[in-house]
Structure 1
Amino acid sequence: MSVVQVSGVGGAMLLGAMSPGPDFVIVMRNAMLSGRRAGVASAAGVALGVFVWAVLSGLGVAGLLAASAVAFTVVKLAGAVYLCYLGVRALLAARRGVYEVVPEGVSSDPVGVRAGFGQGLANNLLNPKAAVFFVALLPQFLPAAPTFADTAEVALTAVVVTAAWFVVLAVGIATLRGVFTRRRVRRVIDAAMGSLLVGLGVRIALQSN
């Protein structure tokens, strides 16, 4: 790939990653309430999901998903249910308002690295719009008969850009965790993020192919 192609893929991925959406919300919430490690783990999960979608797109699998109304609907509804599940959990936590008091500088890590990574990965893989995005993106930067190396290069570029953005986002937000984990502030965050996740889930469920 030329420098122009790499820049094109990187620019498109950066704009997609920076757009507010399910991945953005998951990374931001985990970094706010669980700290830097959980936020970075969520970013890594999202990046792995992007790699999977990029490879599947290069192999033509994502195109089949995007073209199949049944497959698209199944993935769409699974993603919507998952987002609503996470959102309802946050809303219930906000309603209870019972949080562990964590000393300044100490991380209780309620989400955990594994859970954060799993949330980021599942959230990205269960978003059928990611398949549509890559089906539209990859052909613009790949030759008519792409080799495995061509596909891998595009996939790695997408992963590096996505991971870099979300890691910067997670680390930046985590620096203010002392404010975000105060009980009153956390209830507001849980209520807001929970409502946003449920809203995103409903929106995805209602979207057409």
Structure 2
Amino acid sequence: MVEQLPAYVIVMFVLAMVPGPDMMIIMKNTLALNRRAGRITLTGILAGHLFWIAISVVGLAVIIANSPAIFNTIKYLGAFYLIYIGIQSLRAGVLVPRQSIDHIDSLKETVSRKSLIQSFRQGFVANILNPKVLILYMTIIPQFVTGEGQTTLGYNQQILLLAAILLIVSIIWFMTVVELVNLLKRWMKSHVFQNWLSKGAGAVIIFFGVRTLLWG
């Protein structure tokens, strides 16, 4: 498996960098609140990955993927949740509050505990209800497991290693996104621009929700 790791890391970075629901939710929460909210959202996404790692190791991922009823339930719930988040963003009007712009250099900018919990929940729920994440653990990651891991123990060890690399890649990329998006706040003082940005973010998230709904 060692010789395949460079290719695997590249594939994971490409997958992480492709715009998707996780990235849009992180961007939305970073803009609407602050870097801390963006990082908390990322923590929720990572918790979702840990959930799928556990599911994969105990073999439930195969059962879920092969059960149309369970798989479609996950898909539809995920789609409607994204649409719900998108509608919330559309209705928000101002995505970047004035006080958030005035304190963009402060990591301790005041954000309510409720908002942080909501950020975590959005990242977590969107991830565990994303059928493409299930497919990732079902098809892409197992392709990089070599023959030396044919025993259950060996297979799970390789899955855990590959999953750990995926988590590291996700942390590196999404933390970069959080910092870049936070810097963009300097140019977002226009109320009109904020209004259009909020609607644009909501529309994109709704798009991902509809695409998930129609996927497969």
TM-score by length of 2: 0.84
Which residue of structure 2 lines up, in the alignment, with residue 195 of structure 1?
Answer: 203
1:174 shift after superposition? 0.8
Q: Which runs of 4+ in 1 moved over 4 A?
A: 97-100
Which residue of structure 1 lines up, in the alignment, with residue 163 of structure 2?
Answer: 155
Q: 1:109 to 1:182 in 2, by over 3 A?
A: farther
**CA contact 1:87–1:193 (8 Å) conserved in 2:** yes
Is 2:161 the counterpart of 1:144? no
Is 2:133 the counterpart of 1:130? yes
| Structure 1: runs of 5+ lacking an equivalent | none
CA distance in 1, matches of 2:12, 2:85: 25
- SS of corresponding position for 1:160: helix
**CA contact 2:89–2:95 (8 Å) conserved in 1:** no
Amino acid paired to 1:25 = M
CA distance in 1, matches of 2:142, 2:163: 13
1:98 shift after superposition? 9.6
**CA contact 2:41–2:123 (8 Å) conserved in 1:** yes
CA distance in 1, matches of 2:55, 2:215: 22
Is 2:124 the counterpart of 1:121? yes
TM-score by length of 1: 0.87
CA distance in 2, matches of 1:46, 1:56: 15
- SS of corresponding position for 2:102: coil
Q: 1:146 to 1:163 in 2, by over 3 A?
A: farther
Map Cα deviations across residues 124-181 of structure 1 (whole Å, 9 max, x no partner).
Answer: 1110111112211222222222424333212211111111110111111112223336
CA distance in 1, matches of 2:96, 2:164: 40
Which residue of structure 1 lines up, in the alignment, with residue 178 of structure 2?
Answer: 170
Is 2:96 the counterpart of 1:93? no
Larger mean CA deviation between 33-42 and 57-66 belongs to 57-66
Task: Give the share of equivalent positions with the same residue, in percent.
Answer: 27
Amino acid paired to 2:32 = L
**CA contact 1:50–1:158 (8 Å) conserved in 2:** no
RMSD (Å) for aligned C-alpha atoms: 2.3
CA distance in 1, matches of 2:12, 2:18: 10
Q: Which structure 2 residues correspond to residues 1-150 of structure 1 after superposition, within 5 A?
A: 2=2, 4-94=3-93, 100-102=97-99, 104-105=102-103, 107=109, 109=111, 112-142=115-145, 143-147=149-153, 148-150=156-158
**CA contact 1:105–1:178 (8 Å) conserved in 2:** no
**CA contact 1:47–1:159 (8 Å) conserved in 2:** yes
**CA contact 2:96–2:188 (8 Å) conserved in 1:** no
1:100 shift after superposition? 5.0
